[in-house]
Chains A and B, each alone.
Chain A
Amino acid sequence: MPIAFFVLAAVTLAGAICAMSLRNLVHCGLCLALTFAGLAAIYLQLSAEFVGLAQILVYVGAVAVLIVFTILLTKNAEVNISPVSRSWVVGLVVAIIVCASLIVPLMKSPSLQRAPGMTPNASVRLIGEKLMTQYVIPLEAIALVLTAALLGAVVIAMRDEPENKVGRGVPTAPRAGSGEGIESSSASPRRAEDSTPYHDAGVAAANRPVGPSSTT
């Protein structure tokens, strides 16, 4: 009996179930790291050493830490509401149906009973040579994708509100006093309300002359 596989699979599945069911989001992130580490061990067991180490580097080292950082950056104060959505029964039933429809044909398939071949030569040198010759175009494409994703993530997550508010708010304050409130009305009412820490009183005064139009 392959005891090592069963131990690794049990740890990985337990980590996955915990990552999906615990209430504390930080615990979820750490259980996810455990799941990724277990998967990396299974890759190593399948004699895919490079992929296993890349899994540890990328998933345990980067993705799990990124998820924990995001959890810490987004304050989740609403602990009194249920962590699952209202239609969770439907989602669970769908998942169970998908699981059954995957497992049942697997059990009947005769081609899954085969034994593995010789231990393949998957050295890093061979992988590097293939990446640089046969797979060089996908390699370049994924370099482009990663660069674009990096720039896009920084642009999306960048906080650009403070300098915009200062640059837009302060110069319009005297102009609003002279009766011209066109530029200050371009700031939406929601933004003006919930960004009070970055606001001087001048912006509120700038928004006030266009009050009847902006409070609708």
Chain B
Amino acid sequence: MTPLLYYIAFSALLFSIGLAGALTRRNAILVLIGIELMLNAANLNFIAFWRYSANANELTGIMFVIFSIGIAAAEAAVGLAIVIAIYRHYRTSQLNNVDNLKG
């Protein structure tokens, strides 16, 4: 069986890739993709720690991940709606050009 360390290290790598993308890309959609990757890395941590815990029959990790997936879906829907609204207003989805609060 795979040691727990492999899962956690893999999750850390996934989180770092998402963080790097969210910090470096110009496009608002790519930043949202990076945030989704970071959320998925956190979910993988929950599942891995749940599987390797002493009393896994409590299903706490699974429950947390189910609610986390729901929150992430809501976040993606609202975030992409905001991207579409910004695009309609500014005719761009590049974050460097969106620098006006009043519009």
In the complex, what residues of B have CB within 8 A of residue A150's CB?
74, 77
Partner of A115, one of B1, B23, B36: B1
The answer, yes or no, to whether A28 is at the interface (CB within 8 Å) is: yes
Contact residues of A: prevailing secondary structure: helix
Interface range for B: 35 or more
Contact residues of B: prevailing secondary structure: helix
Task: Give the complex CA separation of A78 and B96 in angstroms.
Answer: 12
* A interface with B by C-beta (< 8 Å): 2, 5, 9, 12-13, 16-17, 19-21, 25, 28-29, 32, 35-36, 39, 42-43, 46-48, 50-51, 54-55, 58-59, 62-63, 66-67, 70-71, 73-74, 76, 78, 81-86, 88, 90-92, 94-96, 98-99, 102-103, 106-107, 109, 112-118, 120-122, 126-127, 130-131, 135, 138, 142, 145-146, 148-150, 152-154, 156-157, 159, 161, 190, 194
Q: Assuming A85-B24, A98-B19, what are 17 further A-B pairs, CB within 8 angstroms?
A: A5-B6, A16-B37, A19-B37, A20-B30, A20-B33, A21-B21, A47-B51, A50-B62, A50-B66, A51-B43, A58-B73, A99-B15, A103-B9, A115-B3, A127-B63, A150-B77, A152-B81
Q: Nearest 7 A-B pairs (CB), nearest first?
A: A91-B23, A20-B21, A149-B74, A95-B20, A120-B56, A99-B16, A153-B81
